Structure 1
Amino acid sequence: MATATTTPEAETDASALGTRRGKLTLALLCTIAFLDFVDASIVNVALPTMGEDLGFSVQNLQWVVSGYLLTYGGFMLLGGRAADLFGRQRILVAGTVVFALSSLTGGLAQSSGMLVAARLVQGLGAAMMLPAALSLLTTTFTGTDRHKALGVWGGVAGLASAVGVLLGGVLSDGPGWRWVLLVNEPVCIAAVICIYLLFEDDRRHPDLRKLDLRGAVLSTSGMLLLVYTLVKAPDVGWGAGRTVAGLAGAVALLVIFVANEARSANPLLPLSIFRIKGLAAANVTQLIGVAGIISMFFFLTLYMQNVLGYSQIKTGLAYLPLCFGVGIAAGISSQLLAKVGTRPVMIGGALLASGGVFWLSKVPVGGSFLSDMLPGMMLASFGLGAVFVSVTTAANEGVPADQAGLAAALLNAFQQVGGALGLAVFSALATSRTSNQLADHVPPPEALTAGFQRALLACSICLAAAALFAMRTSNTRGELVDPQAVDDEQARHTSVLDAV
């Protein structure tokens, strides 16, 4: 029987996915991914009730969402490298425990400050869990198994955004908003037990004196400042000194981080990873695509609740067809990858999603779900499933086993920055349009709809731009990759980074 600790260096002819243990391993890792992804969106529909119960101000309520994204994106790179250095199973367990305890704290919170603090810690736990889980997947499965496993992972990632809104509506209108956090507890407990059963203890004891502590401080500080500034920009204004200073400071920290990595003997982020063909383009495609997709969910939810008057549970149920669409698209896309490769699927998915969101940008004030929203949502769902499956595969192809955690962290860090950037930029567009309409004495429902239309149009353009960047990615069909060959290929290439 193939074990869950099979690595590319020790591949056998047997199919790991053909065994019960292999299927359980994939199910466990995808469940962990789903848990992390879904918690970025599951609280959205429950925000009004949270605000009433805990006395949130309108301004501070956004930190229930933003607090999670801040630490999730800010600590992602550090979490991924820690998994490579200290052991993936070890970091995965630690992150899951942190995630579970913070979810429990948030679910039992008696004040707004307590809930926001719990969400900040929850994001830290997710930043440890996700890269460790994805790197375990890419080092456990090889060849066509790896390709199929990444396809399932990508489908789960796309599905989670839609399911989060659905679950948030059902739970908040049912047992109450606290259960959008408390529902994590049994899943986390079961996950920890299964991690110990399915994975051997791979803990390592690296020489702490050789760790790139300066790089860790610079990268984490830069990412935290970048995400924080993007989250606050719509409130304080893009031209405000605070926003400009924050963005400039984040860029400066990240530039110094890159310079430090180029000179470090034991870098936190070995810059040689960017020599892997197509990896950088796949990550940028993820950033731009996520900026459009996550924002689409945000504005469509606001439109249904604030313009059409949908209840929380009705808003959640409205996303049910989209969930099915993502699942179907993910299954079809994973099959297409072996035939045509990742690039055509990625480009086609981005264009399909762009067309769907463009349809949604035409929603009227008295819109109908069946005629005005459902067609666009289904087109977007098919594109979403295709993009996540293909990008996840392309961004992890050809990565050596000892950098699997780093590659996973990079992909998800780009995703978090993309989500924060998209919401910040498109919220500003929507707010500006709505404010101008209100100043012209346009009725509030029409003014809100006009703002949402403009933001959704920008999301559509963003997804079309993602298709352009996808043209620069490698076109892999899930072929076997020899890690030593990858290392040799990296060594043969000269890079401008070496001269920094």
Structure 2
Amino acid sequence: MRSDGRGRWWGLLAISLGVAMIIVDATIVNVAVPQIIRDLEITSADAQWVQEAYTLVFAALLLVAGRFADRAGRRRMFVAGVVVFVAASVLAAVAGSGETLIASRVLQGVGGAMMLPTSLSLLNANFTGREKGVAFAVWGSTIGGAAALGPLLGGWLTTEHSWRWAFGINVPVGVAVVAATLVLVRESRDDRAERGIDLLGALLSVIGMTGVVFALIEGRTYGWWERERPFRLLGLDWTATISPVPVAGLLGLVALGVFVAQQLRRGRAGRPALLDLSLFGIRSFRTGVLAAAIVSLGEFGLLFALPLWFQNVLGYSAFGTGAALLPLAVGSFLASGLGTPFTRRWGAARMVQLGVAAELVGVAGIGLVVAPDTRWWAPLGFLFVYGVGVGLATAQLTGVSLADVPVQRSGQGSGIQSTARQVGSALGIAVLGTVLFASLGGLLGDRLADQPGLDGAQRDQVVAAVKDSAGAAITGLAADPRTAPVADEAKEAFSDATRYAAFAAAGFLLVGLLACTRLPRPHPTLTDPAPAPRQPTPTASR
């Protein structure tokens, strides 16, 4: 980044804005889905792929993108990713069919994967000393805050304008990010990297990550073993009795196993490899990546359940749901300012532990106040504490993980850590989603067992409708006086299921907190009282 202080921090702002854009787009569509279904006349299955195609491709390409950024140039890869992302956003905004919208979301995932690990490696390469800790804090708080702002922004744009603006807003933001990055951020790359491209490794990595993440995301939808609903992909129908989920998961695991073996073989032969497994010999990196994956299981999984509860039980609008989650964003952004002086005093590892503990308190507290008659103010304090925890833990855990990673391999290290986070988040959503809907089905079935006027078939039909609609059917039941008592029971059951999901998330965070106790003492570059001397990168150009 530019050598003067002002230019360096404006460059950080540009990178953080780009990161916010890709994180917001992971959640902004959730509140726009009903309007998308009506406007494009697509099926619920197509709508699900609109939401999940982005996440699937994004997670699958993180490792590959991080490695190629080291060699091609990190700023170049980041800017190219923004261009791809903006182009895909334009395609999504003008989409006239579900197929076009899904394709644009796939392309958005490609652009996002090019940007996220590269943003981390740019910070690692261009900040040193105490400034690096501040930069990582801003980056981490951006992720937490953007995840909470997505539903608010999406709800407002969808309600006041159109769902198309949820994508169109990326155009001016992306143009500003590209211009600022080219002016304020200097290039860096690993000029000592081996020549040649590990195409087989890239292919195995993508196949492996796609299979595993698909299984984690889609298990609840299509069945963990037996196929529970039709599955169609690229015009082909899956007709087997067995679900595509275990097949994809097994294929992914086999591909990842072959990938690791192939990487070891290439490394021993001195040939260029996509994944430098020697990075896992660095204790801070190895422990930080493991902790990041575990913490991510509970960190954002609850954001899947809470919006459903706000809208379908408490009756909030899409915009109201986003507003209810605003304390999380405020807490996360506030943590970026408060975290730096405390990190200098107590160390990065201690701040990670404090952040995860705050998340644990916030999530458990939310579980305690969830009820059909919860007042609007009851969850706000716990959401704020949760957000503070996310802001503290995300940034400092990233800093601890990359502290001892050589700058020349920071793209690869960033890609590995980002991939671990995405897989952890996908697993958390899968597990919490299973807890939510399995509990909902059982609880609602028990509550309706003695409901007058309902026989067994009708009870099963109501339970299936509430589950399959993720609670949206409750509104229709409540509107009809004849089924209003059933809606009341459904609200109770959905609230109890949300509580169980919150407690499950708290359990993951407790395991993550225990894992964080093994983090090594902070690296001096994160806590030095003054910035360390700047080291020239192999290539440094404006």
User: In 1, Cα distance between the equivalents of 2:215 and 2:208?
Assistant: 11
**What aligned pairs does 1:193-272 form with structure 2 within 5 A after superposition?**
193-200=179-186, 210-240=196-226, 241=242, 242-264=244-266, 265-272=271-278
Change in Cα spacing, 1:361 to 1:25, as seen in structure 2 (3 Å) is: same
What is the match of residue 350 of structure 1?
Answer: 356
Alpha-carbon deviations, 1:292-340, whole Å to 9, x = none? 1222111110000000110111111112222211111222222222111
Tell me how far 1:482 sits from its aligned partner.
Answer: 10
* 2:433 counterpart of 1:447: no
Please provide the CA RMSD for this pair. 2.2
- Aligned mate of 1:394, from 393, 400, 409: 400
- Aligned mate of 2:8, from 22, 29, 39: 22
User: In 2, Cα distance between the equivalents of 1:62 and 1:422?
Assistant: 18
Tell me how far 1:56 sits from its aligned partner.
Answer: 2.7
What is the match of residue 96 of structure 1?
Answer: 82
What is the match of residue 474 of structure 1?
Answer: 520
**What aligned pairs does 1:270-419 form with structure 2 within 5 A after superposition?**
270-362=276-368, 363-371=370-378, 373-419=379-425
Structure 1 or 2, whichever has the larger Rg, is 2
- Aligned mate of 1:456, from 460, 481, 502: 502
**What aligned pairs does 1:102-121 form with structure 2 within 5 A after superposition?**
102-121=88-107
- Aligned mate of 2:131, from 121, 145, 148: 145
Alpha-carbon deviations, 1:361-414, whole Å to 9, x = none? 13011111212x112212211211111121111121111111111111112111
The one-letter code sitting in structure 1 at the alignment partner of 2:352 is M
Runs of 4+ in structure 1 deviating by more than 3 angstroms, as ranges, are 199-209, 239-242, 479-484
What is the match of residue 120 of structure 2?
Answer: 134
- Asked if 1 retains the 8 angstrom alpha-carbon contact of 2:342 and 2:351, the reply is yes
The one-letter code sitting in structure 1 at the alignment partner of 2:290 is V
SS at the partner of 1:376?
helix
Tell me how far 1:450 sits from its aligned partner.
Answer: 2.1
Tell me how far 1:79 sits from its aligned partner.
Answer: 0.5
**Runs (5+) with no aligned partner, structure 2:** 227-241, 449-488, 536-542
User: In 1, Cα distance between the equivalents of 2:275 and 2:13?
Assistant: 29
Alpha-carbon deviations, 1:150-179, whole Å to 9, x = none? 111111121111111221122111122111
- Asked if 2 retains the 8 angstrom alpha-carbon contact of 1:333 and 1:389, the reply is no
* 2:109 counterpart of 1:123: yes
Instruction: Using the aligned pairs only, state the percent identity.
Output: 32
- Asked if 2 retains the 8 angstrom alpha-carbon contact of 1:90 and 1:203, the reply is no
User: In 2, Cα distance between the equivalents of 1:469 and 1:202?
Assistant: 33
User: In 1, Cα distance between the equivalents of 2:192 and 2:395?
Assistant: 34
What is the match of residue 230 of structure 2?
Answer: none
SS at the partner of 1:451?
helix
- Asked if 2 retains the 8 angstrom alpha-carbon contact of 1:360 and 1:376, the reply is yes
* 2:67 counterpart of 1:81: yes
Tell me how far 1:180 sits from its aligned partner.
Answer: 1.0
TM-score by length of 2: 0.82
User: In 2, Cα distance between the equivalents of 1:78 and 1:28?
Assistant: 23
User: In 1, Cα distance between the equivalents of 2:191 and 2:278?
Assistant: 24
User: In 2, Cα distance between the equivalents of 1:25 and 1:135?
Assistant: 14
Tell me how far 1:418 sits from its aligned partner.
Answer: 1.5
SS at the partner of 1:297?
helix
Tell me how far 1:440 sits from its aligned partner.
Answer: 2.2
User: In 2, Cα distance between the equivalents of 1:206 and 1:252?
Assistant: 32
What is the match of residue 189 of structure 1?
Answer: 175
